[in-house]
Structure 1
Amino acid sequence: MSLRSRLALAFAVVAAVVALLVGVLSYRAASDRITDEVDRTLASVSAAVAAGETGVLATSEGDPGDGPDEGRGRGRRGDGDPLVAQAVAPNGAPSAIGGRRLALPVNATDRALATATTAGGTATTEIDLGRDAYRVRTTALGGGRGALQVAVDVDESSRVLTGTAIDIAWVSLIVLIAAAGAGWLLARRITRRLVRLAGAAEEVSVRGGLEHEVPVEGRDEVGRLSASFNTMVRRLAASREAQERLVQDAAHELRTPLTSLRTNASVLRRVAELSPEARERLLDDVQGETRELSRLVDELVELALDRRGEEPEEAVDLGAVAQRAAQRVQRRTGRAVHIDTDGSVVRGRPAALERAAGNLLENAVKFDGDGDEPIGVRVRQGTITVTDRGPGIDAADAVRVFDRFYRSDAARGLPGSGLGLAIVRDVAESHGGTVFASTPSGGGAAVGFGVGPERLLPSSESDHDEASPRSITVGDT
């Protein structure tokens, strides 16, 4: 059953239950009111007859007892209630007093009231006599005088109540049908956007139509769901585009080292024909291409997995991050690194920030060549800047050096995959920051990144221990 049908059915059931409940309560109220009115009439007539006023039993169509039909009286009081009264002797024998010519049955309760010594006891019951129904009130007269029975025909009241019940049933049925129709229309209006959203989701899941978005109508839960769905679709489309671009770029970049390795492998088939110097150069070339291929694969895996959400965020001292990255680079390359920090503490992922700082240092070492001066690292207000004394960065390349696999003309002859600075940009953007690259007036290059200003935490010199000074040179001998 569809959601629309369920909503329509729910509306119909609720409306039917409410209508039925109101009808039953209304019927009970009407029935109780009519019964109370009949009982008041019987009480007043009984009091009048007991006082000898039998005229209250006279009918509008003749004296009591007129007419041949003993089973169904024709007389009516002025108020429209056909009455009959009889006396019950202490021995239980009934005798007619007036009203319809009708003998009322005497049961054990009536006999007990007839023999009562105290007046005023009453008993009320309903009986069927032929085709008529009567409500009978028996009143004890006390003092050995027996009891008085007064009855009134309640067929008219029963017909009124039956008609009321039928009317309530029809009204309930009409309410049920109207509620079902209104529920269907309302459910259709409510579920129309959900149906459209479900269709779009099926389009995405079955056909991969990530360009399909749904209109956002209203600010209710369905509107918010539609907006979230559109955001999800846009992000999925961007992710798929990035993955396709990464695969294409990776295929292009992997082709060069693989071609070189294939060529070297074919040369190795004639290794016996090569001179020792040629064999040494060939092996060095194979090892170099293998290292570059391994580094490229590692960086591709790092970008493809995108493990941003796996590392918890914490307070990170950027000076300490730069120092750890400098120590690792110094062990690999032997180059000294000078760090100048203001003690900036940010909220972020320490491993990712350290990876970004390390990539900046490795990039600087690669372009700085065999310089004797230390690589410079400057930490200021949540920003890490690495400077070198290499050839610098052209203005045309400054905006593209952080693109994946982009390599400037000056870098094409150097080792590397073109992914190091792309990883730096991803880390910066995941921390709400940006990257930058420029050529200082004294030459070389200044490349760095910063986190978002909202991630910069309050800090002071007292917040840092003595192992993290403001200025340190790693690897200085």
Structure 2
Amino acid sequence: MKLRTRVAVLTAAVTAITVVLVSVSVWAIANRQLVGTVDDQLDERAESIGPSGQRGPGRFLAGDVAQQLILDNGVVSTGELVIVPNDDDFAVANGRASRSRSTTTGVTDGGEEVSVRVLTVRAHGTAFRAPVRAVMLARPLTEVEESLARLRRALVVLSSVGVVIAGLAGLLIADRAMRPIGRLTRAVEDVARTTDLDTEIAVERTDELGRLAGSFNAMLGALRKSRDQQERLVYDASHELRTPLTSLRTNIEVLQRVEHLSFEERAPVLDDVLLELDELTSLVTELVDLATDQHEAADVERIDLGLLVTMVVERHRRRTDLTIELTSSECEIIGAPALVERAVSNLIDNAIKFSPDAGTVRVSVVSGRVMVSDEGPGIAAADRDSVFERFWRADEARAMPGSGLGLSIVAQVAHTHGGSVAVVDGQTTGATIELVFPEPADG
């Protein structure tokens, strides 16, 4: 069953239940009011009867009030309607109650049973040579029942018409409400079929459906951005891989073509091959880091940032002749140790690469901030946002080894941890890059 059909059926069902409840309430109120009118007539007649409990002469009429006496020696009917007294009626006759009301069945002199409303009141006097104990006043409910029957038929007809109209209205409303959902569904199916992420749905509403369409457009935008990043990564990676692969091919071809090379002649070529292999390995490793979701899947824990940076600095001191100064204070962060270590290592590698011979690299750690400074040529103000992009290199750095991915990995690690990375302003010589991690909420 389609959603619009279910909405129409549900609307009709709710309307039917409501109409039935209202109809029953209307019928009950009408019944109470009509019976109350009969009770008022009986009360009025009770005030007009004589002390003996007998009414004036006259033939009993259909809408009139009949009366019946309860005597010491039995029941005597003084009208054309016979009613069998119940226990409440005898309670009034015996003095245990002042009056009683009931709805029962009476029999006319023609043998017809009719529903009657009865009021029994105390009476004093003599009739038929016997003391009168109570008088039963009765009025047929024929007119009341006919009125209620007409009302019931009218309510059934009106209710049926109302339910049908409600169902049709629900179907129309559901159809109108489902149109934007239908358009959204067709758009989603079209994107799934064509993989065209440039599709965008016009947002013409401000309600929940408009928000849904806006969310879908935002999702498509995120997918487009992801696709563009992937395409750019593939393009940039293929471009960066081409250089070391070309160099490797050239060196290997040299080794193949020249049969008699001395050790001194082969050594530089082999060194170049090993260097290109190292760069190629580093590039592939960094590409894998950027292309996979391992940053998000890494386990996080409380990290002593000062101790971690100290370990990274000691490792780099053993690999370089440059001086690496470290200023560290105790501080803790929440993060993935391997990723944080990789980011700090990339910052120090970058500083070492651009530092002059006998230069100094300065590293400081304070309050979740890692600052790495070098004495190199620095970073131009126009390039400070670009240095964290994938494969970006300054013109003066293109001849240097590296993949151009180191700082982009730092930026990705910072983003993964909810932190930031930026080039510090105000440097007269060299460059200072600051990596900031949020401190734990508990201090």
TM-score (norm 1): 0.71
- Cα distance in 2 for partners of 1:222, 1:410 equals 53
| SS in structure 1 at match of 2:371 | strand
| SS in structure 2 at match of 1:213 | coil
Aligned residue identity for 2:20: L
For the 8 Å contact 1:359–1:420, the answer to whether it is kept is: yes
1:404 pairs with 2:390: yes
1:137 pairs with 2:123: no
Question: Which 5+ residue runs of structure 2 have no aligned equivalent?
Answer: 125-129
Question: Taking every aligned residue pair, what percent have the same amino acid on both sides?
Answer: 35
What's the offset of the Cα at 1:403? 3.1
Counterpart for residue 431 of structure 2: 446
What's the offset of the Cα at 1:241? 0.7
What's the offset of the Cα at 1:135? 0.5
Equivalent of 1:418 in 404, 411, 430: 404
Deviates more, 1:421-430 or 1:358-367: 421-430
Aligned residue identity for 1:433: S
Counterpart for residue 333 of structure 1: 320
Aligned residue identity for 1:446: A
1:373 pairs with 2:355: no
For the 8 Å contact 2:39–2:117, the answer to whether it is kept is: no
For the 8 Å contact 1:91–1:111, the answer to whether it is kept is: no
Equivalent of 1:241 in 228, 241, 256: 228
What's the offset of the Cα at 1:451? 3.9
Aligned residue identity for 1:248: Y
For the 8 Å contact 1:377–1:385, the answer to whether it is kept is: yes
Counterpart for residue 35 of structure 1: 35
Per-residue Cα deviation, 1:303-338 (whole angstroms, up to 9, x for no partner):
112445445778878765643432232233353312
- Cα distance in 1 for partners of 2:216, 2:75 equals 89
**Structure 1 317/219 Cα, relative in aligned 2: closer, same or farther at 3 Å?**
farther
What's the offset of the Cα at 1:232? 2.7
- Cα distance in 2 for partners of 1:323, 1:12 equals 74
- Cα distance in 2 for partners of 1:429, 1:114 equals 92
Counterpart for residue 149 of structure 2: 162
Counterpart for residue 64 of structure 2: 82
What's the offset of the Cα at 1:374? 2.7
**Structure 1 203/111 Cα, relative in aligned 2: closer, same or farther at 3 Å?**
closer
| SS in structure 1 at match of 2:389 | coil
Per-residue Cα deviation, 1:83-105 (whole angstroms, up to 9, x for no partner):
4445577676755x34xxx452x
- Cα distance in 2 for partners of 1:123, 1:289 equals 112
Aligned length: 429
Counterpart for residue 435 of structure 1: 422
What's the offset of the Cα at 1:246? 0.5
What's the offset of the Cα at 1:295? 1.0
For the 8 Å contact 1:376–1:388, the answer to whether it is kept is: no
Counterpart for residue 127 of structure 2: none
| SS in structure 1 at match of 2:422 | strand
Per-residue Cα deviation, 1:364-388 (whole angstroms, up to 9, x for no partner):
323436x123323366894624213
| SS in structure 2 at match of 1:332 | coil
- Cα distance in 2 for partners of 1:393, 1:49 equals 118
What's the offset of the Cα at 1:238? 0.9
For the 8 Å contact 1:357–1:384, the answer to whether it is kept is: no
What's the offset of the Cα at 1:250? 1.4
| SS in structure 1 at match of 2:242 | helix
Equivalent of 1:126 in 80, 101, 105: 105
- Cα distance in 2 for partners of 1:57, 1:132 equals 24
Counterpart for residue 10 of structure 2: 10
Deviates more, 1:155-164 or 1:264-273: 264-273
Alignment of 1:180-329 (within 5 A): 180-184=167-171, 186-187=173-174, 190-216=177-203, 221-262=208-249, 274-310=261-297, 322-329=309-316
Alignment RMSD (CA, Å): 4.5
- Cα distance in 2 for partners of 1:39, 1:86 equals 16
| SS in structure 2 at match of 1:435 | strand
- Cα distance in 1 for partners of 2:87, 2:273 equals 123
